[in-house]
Structure 1
């Protein structure tokens, strides 16, 4: 089995992030073990060429009440030099998250790699080497 390693950054807000490509377009993703699902900002849907699937539903957001969300599937995901393949994401309004990050001196993000991805890929976070290993 080939071990894949992807460089991660620890942001000014003490979050973990990585660079990715979603459908061939560069993306800045937060790595969040506490997020149940991987997400992409709804405002970035057209930028990444994402098509919605199914009907909108309500999802719990970070620090807010329920918010409208919709599923996006078959998004081509690349992390570092590694083709991950098809990944599903939840599209939701991430303005609150990005506003909080900027307020704390950080940069905005395009999305979140959540627990669904981390568990499926059996990701190990190596803080010393600043790498995501899977």
Structure 2
């Protein structure tokens, strides 16, 4: 039996991903019904959206005490947006909090490697909530 049949039989939703030139997986997700490009980052504790995409996703934000670090940048100020609805393929979750911070360094790294810019990062919070299974060979994410 294939992994796809096994997981779909257990109620998982299959989401196609594409591989970037930086060896990340990229996928399309919707926040509050607005589509955006995201990279999947199993090492990111929280799902994040770039400060410059707050208006794009029509997010309400408030200052946060959380400091963000990643891709060579540390101690970055963040904001938080609470109670958002996230759809990834046919999987969805309500009341998700998002960390908002400057993704300029992430996008610069992507552009330097001729990859597309992203509006956010899908992190471990969603992967845990969705009991994620990543099929690297077939470039698919399964969420339950």
Q: Same fold (TM over 0.5)?
A: yes
Is the counterpart of residue 111 in structure 1 residue 120 in structure 2? yes
Q: Which runs of 4+ in 1 moved over 3 A?
A: 53-57
Note the residue ranges of structure 1 that are not aligned, 5 or more in a row: none
- Structure 2: how far apart are the matches of 1:78 and 1:34? 21
> 1:99, CA displacement in angstroms?
0.7
User: 1:56–1:71: 8 Å Cα contact kept in structure 2?
Assistant: no
Figure out how many residues of one structure are paired with residues of the other and give that number.
134
Note the residue ranges of structure 2 that are not aligned, 5 or more in a row: 1-9
Farther off after superposition, 67-76 or 53-62: 53-62
Matches within 5 A, 1:1-134: 2-53=11-62, 55=64, 57-134=66-143
TM-score using structure 2 length: 0.85
TM-score using structure 1 length: 0.91
> 1:57, CA displacement in angstroms?
4.0
- Structure 1: how far apart are the matches of 2:13 and 2:93? 10
> 1:72, CA displacement in angstroms?
0.9
Larger radius of gyration: 2
SS at match of 1:106: coil
CA deviation profile, 1:53-74 (whole Å, cap 9, x unmatched): 4545432232112111011111
